Structures are given as structure tokens and as C-alpha cells.
Amino acid sequence: MNIVVLAGGLSPERSVSLSTGTMVAEALRAQGHRAALVDMYFGLEDWSGPLEDCFDAPIPEVYRRVAREAPDLAQIQAARRDQGSSLFGKDVLELCRRADLVFLALHGACGEDGRVQAAFDLLGIPYTGAGFLSSAIAMDKDLTKRMVADVVATPGWKTVTYTAEDIGGLVESARLPLVVKPVDSGSSIGVSIARTREELRDALTGGLALGGRTVLEAYIAGREIQVGILEDAALPSIEIIPRAGFYDYENKYQPGAAEEVCPAELPPETEQRLREAALRVYRTLGLSVYARADFILDGAGEPWFLEINTLPGMTPTSLVPQEAAAAGIGYGTLVSRIVSASLEARKQGR
């Protein structure tokens, strides 16, 4: 097949996305597909040949490694020659129309919030992962928690939309400690744990740059456990043990920053409860193909659902590939199954 691997985009997670896209494109080519790795935001600005030749173009090695810090999006915007408002760069949609499938290697609001999926549905372009509506719901941490609160335990939360003038009141009324999360970001960008009022003030001040709509979630101490789902079946769980701090952006993507134990060392009954909880969330939100659910396992062994990711990372340090490997599914097979399941999901209108 001719497959466009769509990555990058105008997202704080673009570096992660480009690394995912590199790995996926290489795996697809190893399976005999023609795969074009394309940055959604910049498109084919620097491409002068026939579009058809993009499927055989070299894959830039520079995309493989994830940058230590999230990019400055203002600089990214300024670097594009086309200063229009479209998030699709030059010739991206035209190339996608020529493909048999678009593999969405996008992460963050530019790709996981359902807008790209909706555009492709309207254009009749098949793509990987969940459909537009369930993607949009899962991207919104507040809406996700509202929908699943009756089927899984999730920490208490309050979602606030605020300005700089509101921060003082929010700080004074808060019951600490809290986890502060932008409502629609991924890769733990903008996430912090506030144990003091000063830390909460700093977190809320920083959140203004990410839109000022924030989830204030009760902090639960415990083990960080994540459960991948592939084709409506839960994969073995994985435990994340950061070497310092919590599982933030840097600890997620810098090699050696966190210890990852897969399968997680858990009693069988706890493992089963985690898998069942992940599947309940997945099915309640109407997701399809694959996803990854994040939990905290408290000191009493109770799992608390935090959020679910509809386009999990596929970088060298990503979790779903590790979980798949623990189930005997190699990276190439994992990519192949995502492709096959996605084509079937699109046929069924999911």
C-alpha cells in the first residue's frame, strides 16, 4: 500500500510525533509498503519532485530523537513560508488523497482532538486510530472523567476556566495537594503537582499560556501503571518509576529518565482489575483500534483512572510497543495490526 505517515503538526508534542512517525514509517517500509513521512504543518514546502515520489523519499534521521523540551510554537509558525491559518501544510491533503491510508502519528491537540479525523472523514481519506467523536471526547480530560466516573474510580476533580485575576481566589480556596493539568494537552505538558499554595500559583500562572482551562485533580500517591489496548483487548500493564520527580515530559522521552517494568509486578487479581478498568473506559468512550489508559495504584491496591490516550506514542521509549512486546507482538506486527484494524474500523464507520 501507499501510506502517508502524518506527524509533527503545530503541537507542543511535535517532536514526540516526528519520532513516532520515523519509527512507524521505517516499520511500514520493512513490511513492503511505500511510506511517506510528512510533517503536517510544514507539508511539502521543500519538495520539488512529483508527489508520487514522496512515498520513496528518505526519512530524515534528525526526527528520530525527541527534544528534551517542548518546542516554541511561535517559532514554528514563523518558520513556515506559508503564513496562512491552515494547519495543513503545502500539498498535505493532496498527498493524503493519493494514499491508501494515512497513519496518524500525530500527538496532542493537533491530531488527537478529532479535527483531523473529521476532515479526513469528509474527504473520504482512511486513517488509523479512533474516529473523530471519540477522539474529541478522550482529548478533553474533564469530559472523559464525566463520562467514565460511573464505570471506574477516578480522582475527584474540578475544572476551571480562569484569567490572571482569578488565580488568587483559586489558590486560597484549593484543598492541597492537587495535580494541575491543562484540559486538552498530552505528554504531561503543563502538568504539575502542587503541594503548596505557591506551587499552585505558579502552576496556574503557567497554565494561562496553555489556554487557561485547567483540571484541578485530587493528588493520589501511588504507583504509576499504564495499560495499552489493541483491537479491544488489554495488553500487559507497565509500571513507570521516574528516577526523579514524576512522569513529566522529560521523564517520558529521555532515555534512562525512568525505569519501566513490563509486565508490572502486580498480583494477578490487580492486573486483571486494571485491564478490565482500561477496557471499560475504552468502550464507554467508543474508542477503536488502540489506546493507552493511565492509572495510579494507591497504597491499598486500588486503581484510579487518570486519562486515556487515543494515539499513543510509538517512539523508542514509548509504552504501548513495550506492552505489545511483552505479549509477544513485535513492533512491525504491532504497526501492521494497527493498519489492518483501522481499515476495518473505517469500513464500519467507527
Identified catalytic residue from 11, 309, 318, 342: 309
How would DSSP label each residue in 6-69?
EE--SSTTHHHHHHHHHHHHHHHHHTT-EEEEEETTTBTTT--S-GGGGGGSPPPGGGSSPPSS
Helix (H), strand (E), coil (C) string for 194-258: ECCHHHHHHHHHHHHHHCCEEEEEECCCCEEEEEEEECCEECCCEEEEECCCCCCHHHHHCCCCE
Is residue 236 within 8 Å of residue 262, measured between CB atoms? Answer: yes
In angstroms, the CA 127 to CA 341 distance is: 10
Identified catalytic residue from 140, 248, 307, 323: 307
Running DSSP on this structure, what letter comes out for residue 128? Answer: S
Identified catalytic residue from 11, 13, 249, 275: 13
Identified catalytic residue from 253, 282, 290, 331: 253
Identified catalytic residue from 237, 292, 323, 331: 292
CA distances to 34, 231, 239 from 182, rounded to whole Å, are 37, 29, 24
Running DSSP on this structure, what letter comes out for residue 301? Answer: S
Q: Is 292 a catalytic residue?
A: yes
Q: Is 13 a catalytic residue?
A: yes
Is residue 113 within 8 Å of residue 139, measured between CB atoms? Answer: yes
What radius of gyration do the chain's Cα atoms show?
A: 20
Identified catalytic residue from 113, 217, 294, 323: 294
As beta bridge partners, residue 43 has 90
**What single letter denotes the amino acid at residue 261?**
V
Burial classification of residue 20, based on how many CB atoms lie within 10 Å of its CB (0-12 exposed, 13-18 middle, 19 or more buried): buried
In angstroms, the CA 313 to CA 105 distance is: 8
Q: Is 294 a catalytic residue?
A: yes
Identified catalytic residue from 187, 237, 251, 318: 187
Q: Is 112 a catalytic residue?
A: no
Q: What are phi and psi of 94, to 5 degrees?
A: -65, -40
Kind and range of the H or E run holding 161: strand 157-161
Q: Is 46 a catalytic residue?
A: no
Closest C-alpha to 207, from 145, 244, 174, 160: 160
Kind and range of the H or E run holding 103: strand 101-104
Q: What are phi and psi of 5, to 5 degrees?
A: -100, 110
Identified catalytic residue from 21, 313, 331, 346: 313
Residues forming the active site: 13, 187, 253, 292, 294, 307, 309, 313
